[in-house]
Structure 1
Amino acid sequence: MRILFYTGKGGVGKTSVAAASALRCAQRGYRTLVMSTDAAHSLGDSFGVVLEAEPLLIQPNLWAQELNALHELEANWGQMAHYLTELLAWQGAESIAQSELSVIPGTEELFSLLQIKRHFDEQRFGVLVVDAAPTGETLRLLALPNVLRWWITRLFPITRTLLKAVRPVARRLTDMPIAGDEVFVAAQTALDALVAVRDILTDPQVTTARIVMNLEKMVIREAQRSLTYLSLFGYAVDAIVINRILPATADGHFAAWRKMQQGYAPYVNQMFDPLPILRAPHFEREIIGAEALNHLADQLFGANDPAQFLYRGPAQRIEKTGAGYDLLVPIPFASEEQIHLAQHGDELVISVGWHRHRIILPQSLARLRALDAAFDDTLLRITFRKL
């Protein structure tokens, strides 16, 4: 299975790009599923159809799915849903609200990962296109296996053992519902799947992310952060998508926006090099329905296959070391004598001659100082340590 993961700031047209990619994959003969992990779904609107919590055939070779956390909880995690409902009832929640409240914060992210694992295991589809939530939610989604890894391997087995020992006594002392072992079995199954899904999403031979953006300052900076954070968690990025580029004929109010976009364009080209950049214009009409999506796919891919790996070379990444972190940045055709580093808050400026490369640092690096830089082949290794 090939997995394409589209992410980006809310409102940049990410859903349209994901839908167009999926449609073109289906047209090229792949059995394709496009899946929305955004709680505020708009994937069905993009195709002009009403989607369901399970894959629905909407075009030849193309299925679509909008995840529903409550449906997923009731359909596949009945023991956990029953226990949560009992616990909420004990707390005094009205019966109407119990099922809704059982979908606790973070459940959507959890079920999104488990659905990806399910589709990968079943291998019903050749291509899975993920229309992810806006950047912040997506980064929480992708970080979830890392966040839970310690709890999965250390704390969870201890908690389960202790509760098993005290459960008989606790039931005599309180009428509060105590989780039975079947609840822990279901939870262990989910946690084990989370560990496995990380291996799928970080396998560069299976999954690549594509960052969708517009030519606006705030959006560009968020795209930078996305690339840095995706690198931090070990997810490969194989393309940048610049959407809604105004044409040269833009006039009146849009002429100023066109001028602004053209001012940012060279900066963006240099900033994300060597990743390939896909471009799509600002269309006159909404991108709704197969015909409009097909037109968008033409602009993005031309005659190329969206499912191909658009970039396999070295990319910016972060490595944990004993004393801090190393940031590795591909900078070919340069020498150490040409390199100058300047750090200002969460921004690192790498100068090579007259050219500058700005990187927005994640918090794990922003709180440290860039102390040294040396080349490892064509990768510049920048050492971050505490002062």
Structure 2
Amino acid sequence: MDNLFNYSILFFGGKGGVGKSTSSSAFALTAAEKGKRTLLVSTDPAHNLSDLFDSTIGDERKQLTENLWGMEISSEKQSKRYINQVKDNLKGLIKSHMAEEVNRQIDMAAVSPGSEEAALFDRLVQIVLEEKEHFDIIVFDTAPTGHTVRLLSLPEMMEAWIEGMLQRRQSINENYSQWLNDGEPVDDPIYRVLMNRKDRFSQARKVLMDNKRTAYIYVLMPEKLPVAETKRALQMLEKANLKVNALIVNKCLPEHAGDSIFIEKRRKQEKAYIQQIKEEFSGRQKIFLPLLEEDISSRKALENIKNEFHYPTMKIM
């Protein structure tokens, strides 16, 4: 596990309910105790950080411990902020009598499928590019698998989309220059805005694709559905040239769980899935965390998981 602390950005993903928030929070706490300035960011709509740390955490970073800060990103709020930013960028670029209709079209686009993901990605880019200057490690507690895969696949798609818009805009500017501006280049504020966004997406993509700086950890349980979903997610991420560095197999039955008929049946089933995990995900670091006696629903309870990241009781294969 120690090698994961050498990365500057880590994404924790997985199926809903497998323990992403507890795993990422425990990791972030451990990093902070190692003396690393750590930022823990939740992009999951079902935010759990505030409950785990018994503190109100919002869109701006809030200090939780000596070296740990937290942030919960609301996709709805980001979408509204994103739309307002677009409107501000267009002020002065369009005629006043068109402003009302343009704003109406923008508001309609705001409720279209994918708008919140685009806004969330915009915020993620901002965090990756700006907050990394202030922290040693940034840990992302991401939404369930499908959302995470789409989010992490956006840099390449957004960059290609903007590149297409830039080419069309450049063609319009060249025609305008030839027809109405005596061949002199025109100053196009929209082109400058697009170029700036393209540069930012390109920078973010380089960071997210850099396997020396960014790591991806997937959390699952030794059960059929989480194993199957993890397999699909890893295949999708590999197509996007994103490699998952490690798997956290959560809620494994501890040796001292007992020997009742119920426990033995569960243990037999679990053993089969653990063997499947070892075979299907060979070549990746695997961290096995035990099922605990109590729910992990507070900072105090989180200490039990955090200790598993500190001490050799954790099985690493």
Report the TM-score when normalising by structure 2.
0.78
Contact kept in structure 1, 2:24 and 2:141, CA below 8 Å: yes
Q: Does 1:221 align with 2:233?
A: no
Task: Quote the residue 1:203 is aligned against.
Answer: 210
Tell me the alpha carbon deviations over residues 324-383 of structure 1, each in whole angstroms, 9 at most, x when there is no partner. Answer: xxxxxxxxxxxxxxxxxxxxxxxxxxxxxxxxxxxxxxxxxxxxxxxxxxxxxxxxxxxx
Task: Quote the residue 1:131 is aligned against.
Answer: 141
**Higher strand residue share:** 1
Q: CA deviation at 1:191?
A: 3.1
Alpha-carbon distance between aligned partners in 2 of 1:131 and 1:209, rounded to the nearest angstrom: 11
Q: Percent of counterpart pairs with the same letter?
A: 27
Amino acid at match of 1:104: S
Task: Quote the residue 1:154 is aligned against.
Answer: 164
Tell me the alpha carbon deviations over residues 132-160 of structure 1, each in whole angstroms, 9 at most, x when there is no partner. Answer: 11111111111111222322223334147
Task: Quote the residue 1:385 is aligned against.
Answer: none
Amino acid at match of 2:275: P
Contact kept in structure 1, 2:83 and 2:110, CA below 8 Å: no
Q: CA deviation at 1:273?
A: 1.7
Amino acid at match of 1:242: V
Task: Quote the residue 1:18 is aligned against.
Answer: 24
Contact kept in structure 2, 1:35 and 1:64, CA below 8 Å: yes
Deviates more, 1:191-200 or 1:148-157: 148-157
Amino acid at match of 1:110: D
Task: Quote the residue 2:181 is aligned against.
Answer: none
Q: Write the mapping of 1:46-65 to structure 2, written as runs, cut at 5 A.
A: 46-65=52-71
Deviates more, 1:138-147 or 1:189-198: 189-198
Selected match of 1:110 from 122, 125, 138? 122
Alpha-carbon distance between aligned partners in 1 of 2:121 and 2:82, rounded to the nearest angstrom: 15
Q: Does 1:7 align with 2:18?
A: no
Task: Quote the residue 2:295 is aligned against.
Answer: 286
Report the TM-score when normalising by structure 1.
0.65
Task: Quote the residue 2:72 is aligned against.
Answer: 66
Alpha-carbon distance between aligned partners in 1 of 2:50 and 2:161, rounded to the nearest angstrom: 36
Amino acid at match of 2:157: V
Tell me the C-alpha RMSD between the 2 structures.
3.4
Gaps of 5+ in 1: 167-180, 305-309, 312-387
**Higher helix residue share:** 2
Alpha-carbon distance between aligned partners in 1 of 2:231 and 2:70, rounded to the nearest angstrom: 29
> Which structure's relative contact order is higher, taking Cα pairs within 8 Å and 6+ residues apart?
2
Contact kept in structure 1, 2:79 and 2:116, CA below 8 Å: no
Alpha-carbon distance between aligned partners in 1 of 2:19 and 2:252, rounded to the nearest angstrom: 12
Q: CA deviation at 1:119?
A: 1.8
Contact kept in structure 2, 1:80 and 1:183, CA below 8 Å: no
Alpha-carbon distance between aligned partners in 1 of 2:144 and 2:297, rounded to the nearest angstrom: 20
How many residue pairs get matched?
Answer: 287
